[in-house]
Amino acid sequence: MKSLVTGGAGFIGSHIVDKLIEQGDEVVIVDNLATGKQHNLNPKAKFIELDISDPQTIEVVAQEKPDRIFHLAAQALVTVSVKDPMRDADVNIKGLLHLMQGAVQAKVRKMIFSSTGGAIYGDTEQIPTPETFAARPLSPYGIA
Question: Which residues carry out catalysis?
Answer: 141
Using alpha carbons only, how large is the chain's radius of gyration in Å?
Answer: 16
Q: Which of 11-18's residues contact partners 24+ apart within 8 Å by CB, and which partners?
A: 11/40, 12/72, 12/114, 13/40, 13/70, 13/72, 13/73, 14/40, 14/41, 14/42, 16/70, 16/72, 17/41, 17/42, 17/45, 18/42
